[in-house]
Amino acid sequence: MSTKYILITGASTGIGYEMARLLAAQKYNLILVARSLQKLSAAKAKLESLNGVSIKIFQKDLATVDGAQSLYHELKAQNLKVNMLINNAGSGVYGNFTDTDLDEELKMIQLNIGSVVTLTKLCLQDMLIQKEGKIMNVASLLSFLPFPYYTVYSATKSFILSFSETLAAELDGSGITVTTLCPGPVDTGFNTEAMWNTNAYKANQPINAAVVARYGVNLLLNGRGKKIVGFNNWFISNLPRVTPDRLMMKIKKNLASQRTQRK
């Protein structure tokens, strides 16, 4: 019987690495994907040494058009069997839409949406043959609550939630689950100085990546549907249900706006 692996994208830092650390401690074999070979190599050495599991690493830029397909073909060439997939890799752009860089946003769309759809489709086809599998996609609080100044990023994360929920319905009864992790702000390298300087980050402080990772691992292994991390974020995600649209957008614009100075 071939060895089974959990594939994690964006696995060298932040939530991705913290999930890898927790899963390795539970003796799962992992395939870690990220852009930094140095960070991936360090993660492989540490996790294998501590846990005695098999760690495969792939240096890939999933923001490129052929990045995800290239990764999948390399996995097949090495006969690596993926029975769980965590689409965690993502990037964000903050600022006035007319001022932000178009090339950066197109790469973000490719990473946040294109790579997720590609890896999900290709890995899912294998899972259906194997009659087992779990897929978890990392969305965001902004999937429910699109913010001004995060215009394209919010849209990508709304897509991920919609994509995941409808795919889960299609697969009902197949033995394969699709879940969605929806964190709010997380204290990782994802955040830029401009993001830190918004009213939202003062009102809703970013939480530790290890905390989010614990929710994510439990959702992947045991859960169904979607998980909003933390009561505060759950409450915020439901505000649009009881707040008129125009007022809600004014509130979100104020929250997404810059403070005078970072405290």
Is 197 inside a domain boundary?
A: no
Tell me the residue range of the domain where 40 lies.
4-191+206-230
The CA distance from 3 to 47, in Å, is 17
The CA distance from 48 to 46, in Å, is 6
Q: Where are the alpha helices (DSSP H) in 99-223?
A: 102-109, 115-130, 151-170, 193-196, 199-203, 209-222
Cα distance between the two ends of the chain = 56
Whose CA is closest to 21, among 58, 53, 68?
53
Classified as helix, coil or strand, 203 is helix
What is the per-residue pLDDT for 218? 97
Q: Of these residues, 5, 17, 28, 153, which one is catalytic?
A: 153
Is residue 199 over pLDDT 90? no
What is the per-residue pLDDT for 263? 41
Is residue 66 over pLDDT 70? yes
What is the per-residue pLDDT for 114? 98
User: What tens digit of pLDDT does each residue of 100-142 get?
Assistant: 999 999 999 999 999 999 999 999 999 999 999 999 999 999 9
Is 68 inside a domain boundary?
A: yes
- Rounded to 5°, the CA angle 254-140-132 comes to 170
What are the structure tokens assigned to 170, written together? 């299609």
User: What tens digit of pLDDT does each residue of 207-263 get?
Assistant: 999 999 999 999 999 989 999 997 888 888 888 888 888 888 888 898 889 876 444
The sign one gets for the Cα dihedral 47, 52, 57, 62 is negative
Q: How many CB atoms lie within 10 A of CB 71?
A: 23
Domains in the chain, number? 1
pLDDT, average across residues 65-90: 97
Q: At what angle do helices 37-51 and 14-25 cross, to 10 degrees?
A: 20
The CA distance from 141 to 185, in Å, is 8
The CA distance from 178 to 215, in Å, is 15
Is 103 inside a domain boundary?
A: yes
Is 8 inside a domain boundary?
A: yes
Is 198 inside a domain boundary?
A: no
The answer to whether residue 215 is catalytic is no
- The CATH code of the domain that includes 161 is 3.40.50.720
What is the per-residue pLDDT for 1? 53
Q: Could you tell me which residue, 209 or 201, shows the higher pLDDT?
A: 209
Is 34 inside a domain boundary?
A: yes
pLDDT, average across residues 176-193: 93
Burial class for 171, CB neighbours closer than 10 Å (0-12, 13-18, 19+):
middle
Classified as helix, coil or strand, 87 is strand
Identify whether the C-beta of residue 162 lies closer than 8 Å to the C-beta of residue 242. no
User: What tens digit of pLDDT does each residue of 23-61 get?
Assistant: 999 999 999 999 999 999 999 999 999 999 999 999 999
Q: At what angle do helices 14-25 and 209-222 cross, to 10 degrees?
A: 60
pLDDT, average across residues 86-92: 97
pLDDT, average across residues 139-167: 96
What are the structure tokens assigned to 257, written together? 């706006």
Q: Could you tell me which residue, 137 or 146, shows the higher pLDDT?
A: 137
Is 261 inside a domain boundary?
A: no
What is the per-residue pLDDT for 232? 81
Find residue 208's DSSP bridge partners: 187
Classified as helix, coil or strand, 43 is helix
Identify whether the C-beta of residue 22 lies closer than 8 Å to the C-beta of residue 212. no
Is 165 inside a domain boundary?
A: yes
